[in-house]
Amino acid sequence: MAQSVLIVDDEFGLADITADLLREVGYEVTLAINGKLGLAILAARRFDIVLTDLMMPVMDGPEMIRRMRADPALAAIPAILLTALPEAIPTGAAGLHDAVLVKPYSMVELLETMRRLLPPA
């Protein structure tokens, strides 16, 4: 069974490209456009890992991860924070995410980070 990835990002082009590339290497991928929708999807279905953008409308990535960590059913899911502005990561968000990737990140970098955080399939 393929490992499942939730990508939460309001940059549709980048999210779609990332999703397509992850699907090509065997991951099952679902997309959400903001943290609020991401949490709703997480409540309905189990995912192996979450990739979330830092800055999004409605609910940003750090707030979504904060809420994941507060929910015992979601707390253990690895979360990778994606951002073009690492200096914009709130100081209060330190330790919430499992990794940070700076946009534009390479697919190799993304896959290596995911493999490090995920248990073997």
36-52: pLDDT as tens digits: 999 999 999 999 999 99
Q: Which tens digits make up the pLDDT trace of 45-79?
A: 999 999 999 899 999 999 999 999 999 999 999 99
C-alpha separations of 8 from 25, 51, 64 in Å = 19, 6, 10
Q: Which domains does the chain have, with CATH numbers?
A: 4-101 (3.40.50.2300)
Q: Where are the alpha helices (DSSP H) in 2-119?
A: 12-24, 35-44, 61-70, 107-117
Task: Give the pTM.
Answer: 0.94
d(Cα 46, Cα 41) in Å, to the nearest integer?
A: 9
d(Cα 46, Cα 13) in Å, to the nearest integer?
A: 25
d(Cα 98, Cα 44) in Å, to the nearest integer?
A: 22
